[in-house]
Structure formats: structure tokens, C-alpha cells
């Protein structure tokens, strides 16, 4: 794994180090931030009050030196991770398929990271700012197109952040391994870049408004 900057209570004080494939690991903070800026889905892992391991997919956004998540105050898992317990958050991005000479050498190109820490619940102006970060991460400029949340809406929404103090980051970009047997040389190998981006706009059936600029820009960004 990559490097850790702060160690949580009960965790090893040693840096986070990978045992295998250390050449894939990076301690470059810019690589981590680039990955977080390129993905919007993370998986949050924690242990619940009954000792059961849980993992939940959720939307995420980088906010400077921290990440922010949000959801309903009625969410059981959000209430659980909001109490200060240790969590692990994973993110990943697939950028290509590695086609090896043999089936065992087939894999992917991409980046992945695991963040370690605790979430902190935001209130007041910080909560509003966190909501704007989440909204503009998915739809840049959208926060300026919608009204401010009401007190009732804010009371029903939980916004939390976790600092990027301890993490590991891996980059997979190597070429397929050369053939190990003469017979394998006749089989094609290489890489295929993938870009599942379409940019198709589909208004809701109840929609009566024109497509706003933020949506048009987002669709343009996703069109290849």
C-alpha cells in the first residue's frame, strides 16, 4: 500500500506498505487527489454495533484535504459511521483492459485507493458548504441554479467529512507480460482503453423546464 501520514488509535504506527507488487504503489499525494477527482462513487467499510462487517456504496467528493459524503439522517449506516468509529473508504477507476497471452494474465489498467480514518458530522455554514461541494462535484455550477435548502430539508440531511491523513494508492499501468511459451506468441496481447461515456440527456417525465447550462456542460464533458 501507499504511505500513511497519521495513525488511528488501535492501528499500527508503521507506514502502510504493500507486501506484493510494491512497484504498483505510490506515495504521490497528487495521484491520490487525481483519482478522487475522477470518481464519484466510493465504498465505505465499517464494523456495526453487533460486530458485523459492513460495506456501503455512496457518492463522494474531494473537498481540499478531505472527502465529503451525505445522505438522510434516517440512514442507519450514516448514523453508525458518524459516531467516530474507524472506517475504510475505497475508490477505484478502470481506464483499460489488459489482454494477456493467457487467461491468467488478463486484467485491468486503472487506479485505486483506500482511505483510513473517521467521519466528522458538519453543522451550520460548513454543512451548507459541504452540500454545495457534493452538488457541484456531480454537476458543476448546479448550486447556483437551485434555491437554498430549507431548515426542514437540512435537518433531514447528514453531511460528513473525513480528512485525507492515512491512505494507500495503487496505479496499474503495466503492459501484458511476454509469452512464456512459444505457442503463446501466436495469441494476441495488448491493452484496450475503455471510456463508458455517452452524455445522453433524458428529461424526467415530470420535467417542464429547459435543460440548464450545468446539465448541457456535463453532457458535453461525457460525449466522446
pLDDT of residue 18: 52
Is 13 within the bounds of a domain?
no
- Mean pLDDT per 10-residue interval, the chain, length 224 residues: 41 46 73 93 96 97 97 95 95 84 78 95 96 94 93 96 94 76 68 66 68 77 63
Asked if residue 100 and residue 199 are part of one domain, the reply reads: no
Asked if residue 107 and residue 67 are part of one domain, the reply reads: yes
Quote the pTM value: 0.77
- DSSP code, position 144: G
Q: Whose CA is closest to 92, among 27, 22, 39?
A: 39
Q: Rounded to whole angstroms, what are the CA distances from 24 to 110, 135, 176? A: 11, 33, 14
Is 42 within the bounds of a domain?
yes
Asked if residue 170 and residue 204 are part of one domain, the reply reads: no
Structural element, H or E, at residue 69: strand 66-72
**CA 135 to chain CA centroid, nearest Å:** 15
Please, where are the H alpha helices in the chain? 29-38, 76-81, 124-138, 151-155, 213-222
Cell of 194: 475503455
Is 6 within the bounds of a domain?
no
Asked if residue 220 and residue 147 are part of one domain, the reply reads: no
Return the half-sphere exposure (C-beta side, CA atoms, 13 A cut-off) of residue 155. Answer: 3
3-state DSSP assignment of residue 152 = helix
Q: Which domain holds residue 133?
A: 22-180+187-193
Asked if residue 87 and residue 127 are part of one domain, the reply reads: yes
> For residues 61 and 68, is the Cβ–Cβ distance under 8 A?
yes
pLDDT of residue 4: 37
Asked if residue 111 and residue 206 are part of one domain, the reply reads: no
**Residue 88 exposed, middle or buried by CB count within 10 Å (0-12, 13-18, 19+):** middle
In sequence order, the 6+-apart residues with CB closer than 8 A to the CB of 76 are: none
> For residues 148 and 127, is the Cβ–Cβ distance under 8 A?
no
Amino acid at each position: 500500500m501507499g504511505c500513511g501520514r497519521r495513525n488511528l488509535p488501535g492501528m499500527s504506527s508503521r507506514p502502510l506498505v504493500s507486501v506484493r507488487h510494491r512497484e504498483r504503489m505510490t506515495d504521490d499525494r497528487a495521484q491520490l487527489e487525481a483519482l478522487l477527482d475522477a470518481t464519484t462513487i466510493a465504498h465505505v467499510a465499517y464494523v456495526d454495533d453487533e460486530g458485523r462487517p459492513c460495506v456501503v456504496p455512496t457518492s463522494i467528493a474531494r473537498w481540499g484535504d478531505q472527502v465529503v459524503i451525505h445522505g438522510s439522517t434516517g440512514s442507519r449506516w450514516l448514523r453508525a459511521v458518524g459516531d467516530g468509529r474507524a472506517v475504510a473508504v475505497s475508490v477505484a477507476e478502470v481506464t483499460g483492459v489488459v489482454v494477456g497471452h493467457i487467461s491468467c494474465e488478463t486484467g485491468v489498467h486503472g487506479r485505486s485507493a483506500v482511505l483510513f480514518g473517521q467521519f466528522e458530522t458538519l453543522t451550520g455554514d460548513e454543512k451548507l458548504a459541504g452540500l454545495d461541494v457534493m452538488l457541484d462535484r456531480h454537476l458543476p455550477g448546479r448550486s447556483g441554479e437551485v434555491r437554498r435548502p430549507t431548515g426542514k430539508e437540512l435537518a433531514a440531511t447528514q453531511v460528513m467529512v473525513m480528512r485525507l491523513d492515512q491512505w494507500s494508492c495503487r496505479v496499474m499501468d503495466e503492459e501484458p507480460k511476454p509469452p512464456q511459451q512459444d505457442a503463446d506468441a501466436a495469441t494476441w496481447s495488448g491493452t484496450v482503453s475503455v471510456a463508458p461515456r455517452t452524455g445522453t440527456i433524458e428529461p424526467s417525465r415530470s420535467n417542464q423546464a429547459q435543460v440548464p447550462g450545468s446539465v448541457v456542460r456535463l453532457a458535453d464533458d461525457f460525449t466522446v
